[in-house]
Amino acid sequence: MRVRGLVQGVGFRPTVWRLAHACGVVGDVRNDSDGVLIHAWGDAWTLQRFIESLSAECPPLARIDAIERHQLSEAAEASDFRIVASVTGNVQTGVTPDAVICADCAAEIATPADRRYRYPFTNCTHCGPRLSIVQAIPYDRANTTMAAFDLCDACRAEYEDPADRRFHAQPVACPVCGPRVWLEGRHGARADGDDPCRAASLLLRHGSIVAVKGLGGFQLACDACDEAAVARLRQLKRRERKPFALMARDLQAIRRYCTPAPTEVALLHSAAGPIVILQADGAQCVAPSVAPGVGTLGFMLPSTPLHRLLMESIDSALVVTSGNTSDEPPCIDNADARARLGRIADVFLMHDRDIARRVDDSVARVVQGEPRVLRRARGYAPAPLLLPEGFSETPAVLAMGGELKNTFCLARNAQAIVSHHLGDLEDALTYADYRRSVAQYLRLFDHEPQTVALDFHPEYLSRKIGYDLAQTWQVPVVEVQHHHAHLAACMAENGVAFDALPMLGIALDGLGYGDDGTLWGGEFMLADYRGFTRLGTFKPVAMPGGTRAIEEPWRNAYAHLMAAFDWRGFTRQYAGLDVQKFLSRRPRAALDTMIAQRVNSPLASSVGRLFDAVAATLGVCRERVLYEGQAAIELETLVDRHALQDDGDADAYPFEIVSTMPDGLRCIEPRPMWEALLDDVLRGTSVPVIAARFHKGLAIAIVRMAECLADLLTGSVDARSVALSGGVFQNRILFEQVAGRLGATGFRVLTHRQVPANDGGLSLGQAAVAAAQQRHGF
C-alpha cells in the first residue's frame, strides 16, 4: 500500500505498526520518496480492517491524501510486522510543519517526578520542531539540526520502541543528552542559576526586554502591561506604531483582555498555534503602546516547552515580537542575535539547538465563523496544498511570488508547496533570505523546475531572480498578471477544476502591474487558470509622487479630490474644512503639474489608495503612514458598527457605474461618494459614522458592478460564481459586507482560508496559471 500526504515525521509509521499488530497483519512499513510504503499480508477481512483503521486512527499531525492498494504476488516473508529504514529517492512527499507542544509533553515538563521536568526541548511525534530543523529528506535525525546531539540510553530506548510515542521522534531529547538553555547578558556573560526560564520570567516582570531564541527565530519579549517597557521596545526596535503580537499563559489570561468565540478558542489551541486576531473587548487593557489605533489584539498561546516555562509565573500578557529591527528578518543565529539585538535586549534566553531556517509566527483570524490565514508560516508551511481536479499532470513549477509579503511555491503532480512567509524583498537581508530559502526548498524537496512563473511588474526583485534562474536552467518563463494570480490562488484553494468554466473574479489591493502598463488594484475579471478578461475597474486616479503617495496619504486625498472637483470648486463648496486648509498649505501647483504631465504620477485603479484618500480626508494618518495598510486599518477600526447595521442602505455613500473608459471598460466612479462624504463632514457628522457609510457604500458598489457584469455575460461562462481576493479583502467589514451581499443575491462566493488573500497567496496562483498555460502550450 502506498500512503500519500503528510505522513513523515508525524508518528505515522508507529501508528501503522500498532494497528498492524492489533489487526494481526504481518509485513513492514517504511518512509520513501513518495510518502509511506506498507507491505501487508493477511486475509481479506483482516486487511480491510487494517486499511479502515489507518484512516480512522490517523495521528494528529498527519494527513492522508490517498491510499493506493496493489496486490502482492509473493508470499509473506515475515512472521511479524516491522518498521524498516527509510528509502531515498526523488522526493515527492511533504515536510510536516512545526507543531505546538502537545498535552502529554506539557504534562511531563510540569511533573516533578518526570525525567523531563522543566526541560524546554521536550517533544514527541505529536509535537515539536519540523521545518525549522530539517535539512534534507527523508526526515530522519541525521538530516536535522539535532544530529549534533547523540541520544542517551533512555532516549534511545524510547526512540527505538514502536510502542512509545517517541518512536522515531527525530528531535527527541532530555536534560542528559539534549540541547541546553541559558541566560546571558548583552555582553555575553552567562547568568548563574539552574533555571534560566524562571530567571527570565522574573526579569520580564520587572520591566526587562528579553531576547528569546524561539522555534524559528529570535523573539523580543516584554511585559505587555508595562507601558515604559513597551514604549522602550518600540523605540529600540524602530517600530513606531504597528501592533505588537501578544502571548498569554492560557485562555483564562487571554479572557482578561478579549472574549474569544469558540471558533477562535479552537484556533488558539490548534496544532498550528497561530497568532489569532481578537477584538479587544475584555475587562482589562494592555499598555496603550501595544496596539495603538486599532481595536484588536493578536494573541497566541505558548507554542513550545520553552515558552510554556517562560510564561508559567506570568499572569499578564507578554509582547512577543520578532527579533529584529523594523522590516528586517528575525535573527536565527546566536552570534547574529548578539550583534543585531544587543542594543535592544537587556538579556538573552539562548540555547544551542541550531535553527535550520527562519520561520515566523503565523497569523489568522476568524471571519464569518471560519478561520482564515493572514500570514502562513509556523504551523502551516510547508504543508502541501492539493491542486484541483485536472492538475494531476502538473509539470514542476517554481513560482517566485511578489515583492511584499513574499512566499514562493513549488508545484508538481497535483500538489503545491507554498513556502513560509518571507516578508518584503525591498529589505536587503530579507532579499538574501529569500534567495537562500528558494535554494533550500529546491534541495529539500528535490525539485527540478521545468517552468518558472513570475509577476508582470518589471521592477520586482522576485521577477529578476526568476529570470536568472530560468536562464540558468534553460526553462521557459510564464509571466502572470498580479490580479489574475490572486484570483487563480482563490480558485485553486477552493478546488475549482482545471477545465472549469471561466468565472467572475474581484481582486482589490494596493497595487499590481497591469497588462496595459498602468497600475491596477480594483479589478473585475472573467478568469480561469489559463487567462482572464478585464471587465471592469475603479476609476484610475494619479498617485502624485509615485511611492511617496503610498507613504503620505494626503497625496492620494489631493489626487482623488482633484479628480472629483477642481480646486476652485472644491474650495467654494468646502472652504473651512480641515482637509481644505491642510491641502491649501501643500505645493498644489507642483502637484497639479506632476499630475497633468504624468511626471512620477502613475495612474492607479487601486482600492487600497482609495482607502488612504478617504482616511486622510477624515484626518486619519493624513501626513504619513508608519506601516503598510495603516490608514485603512485605522479607518476600519473607527467604523460605527451601529451605523453600519442599523441605518439600512439609504445613508450609504453612492458610487456610479459608468462606461467612459477609453477601452469601453465599465468603471466605478467615486465622485458621488466624495460629495456625500464631504457634505457629511461639513454637517459635523462623526468620523465613525462617515467611515461606516463609506464601507457600506463601497460594498454596495462592488456588488452592483458584479451583478451588472454577470447580466452581460453570455456563452460558456460561470456567471454566478465569484472569487474574492487581494489584500483589501482582509478588511473584515468590507469583506463581510461584500461576501454577504453577493451571497444574498445568489452568487456562489469563493474566498481564501488556507492561504492569505494578500500577496502571500500570489505564488500559489502563479503556479496554477503557469501549470495551466504550459499544459495548453501557451
Catalytically active residues, by annotation = 13, 31
Are 7 and 36 spatial neighbours (Cβ–Cβ below 8 Å)? yes
The set of cell numbers assigned to 718 is: 460561470
Q: How many CB atoms lie under 10 A from the CB of residue 342?
A: 14
Are 304 and 215 spatial neighbours (Cβ–Cβ below 8 Å)? yes
Are 275 and 298 spatial neighbours (Cβ–Cβ below 8 Å)? yes
Q: Burial code of 553-577, b = ≥16 C-beta within 10 A, e = fewer?
A: bbbbbbbbbbbbbeeeebeeebeeb
User: Residue 562: which of 507, 622, 617, 630 has the closest Cα?
Assistant: 617
User: Residue 231: which of 202, 200, 207, 203 has the closest Cα?
Assistant: 207
Q: How far is CA 657 from CA 62, 156, 523, in A?
A: 50, 70, 13
- d(C-alpha 689, C-alpha 89), whole Å: 62
- d(C-alpha 559, C-alpha 573), whole Å: 17
Under the phi-then-psi rule, with left for phi > 0, alpha for psi from -120 to 50, and beta for the rest, what region is 119? beta
The set of cell numbers assigned to 577 is: 474644512
- d(C-alpha 45, C-alpha 68), whole Å: 17
Residues 6+ apart with CB under 8 A from 197: 118, 120, 181, 306, 309, 310, 312, 349
Q: How far is CA 109 from CA 103, 178, 202, 502, 539, in A?
A: 10, 15, 19, 54, 60
In 58-212, which residue ranges form alpha helices assigned H by DSSP?
103-109, 153-159, 196-205
